[in-house]
Amino acid sequence: MVTSSQLSSTFAAMLMKIRSIVSNLLTSVLMLVSGSRAKQTLVTTGTSPPKTHSKEEKKISDSQLTTPSSVNYHFTRQCNYKCGFCFHTAKTSFVLPIDEAKKGLRLLKEAGMEKINFSGGEPFVHQRGDFLGLLVKYCKEDLKLPSVSIVSNGSLIKETWFQKYGDYLDILAISCDSFDEETNKAIGRSQGRKSHLDNLHKVRNWCREYKVAFKINSVVNTFNVEEDMSERISVLNPVRWKVFQCLLIEGENAGENSLREAEKFVISDQQFQDFLDRHKSIKCLVPESNQKMKDSYLILDEYMRFLDCREGRKDPSKSILDVGVEEAIKFSGFDEKMFRIRGGKYVWSKAEMKLDW
């Protein structure tokens, strides 16, 4: 006769076996989904490069390696605006010496770079834009890149900059999230009494005069999600209107060590789609949801390290100045397929745009 004690023991053993099977299945599934990526916390304080990961699990497999055809170089984190959702914040004041920056840009060109985009921070902050201008000229005149572009808030740009460097620049993108001045102020896209919209129109006119393709970047968030920008965008007539969904990045605009708290700016996927539907008549609109944006950019930080955003934060590679482009790019997290899906490859040279200046 089987006692109740024996039944309990047998039942417990069966439960343990079932739990073991389930645990193994879950582990296998998680490994398939995550690719067994190793986690690492990014620390970005001080002027020396923080410790970077070296675990083999973070590498992209050789079959996934790609040439860095389009690179975004955030050479400074400093900015004169305080946008609440900023995902590349002023955690350091470090900027490479210009000779080192040029060396890295040449390495990228030799590795296959066709387009460089300079960003920040605000790229016109450092040396009043002359550092940026010299890099722009170097990339076009010496490296002969097909496309050189800049993303700026527009507040610090002077006409004299266009006079010195405009010939070497293909595209200038100005960030503008609203055509209501109070909304821009609420977002943090302002400085003192300066009018962000006045600067926007001024820069747009200079782009036309000095033959630089004009682009607008907008981040859709809780403050502007109901706005209809169609008429104003049509008047400005940019070559592209890049529309981003507000994105959270741990350590930048979310989490314990971040300099921003962007949670209050976050919108749902449906709200983002509603915004896009409202502006579907705008032919130059290029939408980028969180899914499209997160892994489809090759981002180079102020130390010339690729930043891997696959884990919802920015995990840095080693600097291309130390290990070369081929090795560093293995840790970039770059999704080339998504890059193409989001329209990352387009006519990006002003010589080929055939614009009516």
Q: Annotated catalytic sites, by residue? A: 79, 83, 86
Q: Which of 82, 74, 95 is nearest to 316 (CA)?
A: 74
For the CA atoms of the chain, what is the radius of gyration? 23
Q: Are 124 and 156 in contact (CB under 8 A)?
A: yes
State the Cα–Cα distance between residues 207 and 301, nearest whole angstrom. 27
Which two tokens mark 177? 């999230």
**Under 8 Å between Cβ of 253 and 211:** no
How far apart are alpha carbons 43 and 87 in whole angstroms?
15
DSSP labels for 66-122?
A: ---SEEEEE-----S---TT-SS--S------HHHHHHHHHHHHHTT--EEEEESS-
